[in-house]
Amino acid sequence: MENNHQQSVAVGQQPDKSVAIIAYLTLIGLIAAFVMNNEKRQRFAAYHIRQSLGIMLTGLALGMINIIPILGWIVCIIGVIFLFVCWVIGLIAALNGQEKAVPAVGKYFQEWFKSV
């Protein structure tokens, strides 16, 4: 029963969603979104860049855990499924113009990467 941070942007204040959407499209997309957002800082884009960065780094950590036989494989499979769900939720939120944190870890991503 976690209270996820979710905020819809008013229609008249619709942000440029393209940078936020690009952030979820592979590592290259994340880097491109980061560079694009540095030129003209957008709060909405930065929010989704932090979410995507957290998903990518968690995936990297799962890859390292995958080295451990049996238990690591099980954790990795469950983690990858969870990350895929988080990625889809984040992408849909960016498409809809919402600042919606990914389940369970999204608020931590915002805290840890607040300098991004």
Q: What residue numbers bound the domain in which 84 lies? A: 17-111
pLDDT score recorded for residue 2: 47
Residue 1 within a domain: no
Who contacts 69 (Cβ-Cβ below 8 Å, separation ≥6)? none
From the number of C-beta atoms within 10 Å of its C-beta (0-12, 13-18, 19+), residue 99 rates as: buried
d(CA 110, CA 11): 24
Residue 2 within a domain: no
- Of 76, 34, 82, nearest to 55 by C-alpha is 82
pTM to 2 decimal places: 0.79
Residue 12 within a domain: no
Averages of pLDDT over runs of 10 residues in the chain (116 residues) are: 49 68 91 88 90 93 91 93 94 90 88 86
pLDDT score recorded for residue 75: 93
Total structural domains within the chain = 1
